[in-house]
Amino acid sequence: MFELLKTDPSSKARLGKLTTAHGTVDTPVFMSVGTQASVKALDPRELLEMGTQIILGNTYHLNIRPGMEIIRAAGGLHKFMNWNLPILTDSGGFQVFSLAKIRKIKEHGVEFRSHLDGSLLFLGPKEAMEIQRTLGSDIAMVFDECPPHDAPPKEQKLAVERTIRWALECRAQPRADGQKVFGIVQGGSNAALREQCAKALVAMEFDGYAIGGVSVGEPEPEMMKAVELAEPFLPTHKARYAMGLGTPAQMIELIARGVDMFDCVLPTRVARNGTAYTRKGALGIKGGGYKLDFGPIEEGCECYACKNFTRAYLRHLLKANEILGLRMLSVHNTHMYLQVMKDVRAAIANGTFAEFRREFIANFRPSQKVMLQRTAAESR
């Protein structure tokens, strides 16, 4: 399923290929988030033109709306949303964290109140895997518990124990044809818990491994530490996935720490707030300084937005609340993320990753505003 093609001598960066039922994915890879069977503001044609290889769906949200009866009648998630390339579905475990006010953790899963109508529903290992089997995703994630980063040690320990137990239950469930399953390592920034969780999951022989419990409001150094604590215990011949991350600079730093896969709501989320990502950092396109700026969002960018529209025009659209403005920023940001990953793969292949990493990090300056938006966006 995962073929390791090359490693970087200056870091833990890896070049690989991930084979799924709906195609091969080149890694490192950024996966656009399509929570409700759609990447916000973008259509499948645009995603394909940008070079999107794989997208995400959300088990919890899709189960509530449109529901598995409709997905089943449509012939699975791929047919329902007209996406013929790979799909990864998360298990709903992140909602254990993000919907803390409307859920109750029990021994065999989590009892939720629907965020739509307040109706009672239960999601556990068996239910999460059954939903993902119906969705027919290429990669299904185990159901885990994701506690807050500042949870007391006892709570972190209990979450790891539940995560391990639930992973074993997930492992025993039937799968869709060709469906792979990834385990999720929890444990916060506790070295012993990360090691315990990783070793237990590796012993279960999953098809790949995710590092969870990151990007949940913790400071960036703690996020990096959590990945560093888990990575040494993950097998080199399996893909590694850091869930819910991050800015372009964060992804490059985590690639250097041995991570292969990323997903994040940031590109489209900040676009809807008028922010564009470039290799020099984040730009608030609504700012008055762009009123008479007739250059592209980013010089040299080959995305549709940059080749056809100016900052001045996009600012006008955003100020006028025209949908085209947020769509074009979504196009640019998603293209930028995908292009950075393409350039990273080329740098690893050419043996120039160290130089690429050094130059990118030196030039990239995310604004505090965008960082705060990231935290808010990925906590729900």
Instruction: Select the more confidently predicted residue: 367 or 216.
Output: 216
Assess whether pLDDT exceeds 70 at residue 229: yes
The answer on pLDDT for 34 being more than 60 is yes
Q: Residue 98 has what pLDDT?
A: 73
The token duo for 183 is: 């385990």
Q: Would you state the structure tokens that stand for residue 133, as one six-digit string?
A: 């089997």
pLDDT reading at 380 higher than 60: no
Confidence class for position 371, pLDDT limits 50, 70, 90: very low
- Taking CB atoms within 8 Å and a gap of at least 24, the contacts of 200-205 are 200/164, 200/167, 201/164, 201/167, 202/233, 202/234, 202/235, 204/167, 204/168, 204/171
87-90 and 208-211 beta bridge pairing: unpaired
* For residue 93, pLDDT beyond 90: no
Q: Band of the pLDDT at 97, cuts 50, 70, 90?
A: low
**Rounded distance, CA 201 to CA 111, Å?**
24
Task: Give the tens place of pLDDT for each residue, 41-56.
Answer: 999 999 999 999 999 9
For the chain, the domains span 2-269, 271-368
Whether residue 374 has pLDDT greater than 80: no
Q: Which residues are catalytic?
A: 90, 263
| Between 94 and 6, residue with greater pLDDT | 6
- Would you state the pLDDT for residue 99? 74
Give the pLDDT confidence score for residue 379 in this predicted structure.
35
Closest listed residue to residue 92, CA positions, set 149, 26, 137 = 137
| pLDDT, position 96 | 65
**147 vs 185, higher pLDDT:** 185
Q: Does 241 score more than 90 pLDDT?
A: yes
- Tell me the one-letter amino acid at 371: M
Distances (CA, A) of 7 to 238, 303, 345: 14, 30, 11
10 pLDDT more than 90? yes
| In the predicted structure, residue 307 carries a pLDDT above the cut 50 | yes
pLDDT band at 367 (very low <50, low <70, confident <90, very high): low
pLDDT, residue 271, reads 98
Q: What is the CATH number of domain 2-269?
A: 3.20.20.105
Of residues 190 and 371, the one with the higher pLDDT is: 190
Mean pLDDT computed over every residue of the chain:
94
- So what's the pLDDT on residue 368? 43
pLDDT exceeds cutoff 50 at 217:
yes
Position 376 pLDDT exceeds 60: no
What percent of the chain is predicted at pLDDT more than 70? 96
Structure confidence by residue, pLDDT tens digits, 248-274: 999 999 999 999 999 999 999 999 999
Tokens of 126: 């068996």
Over residues 166-180, the mean pLDDT reads 98
pLDDT at 106: 87
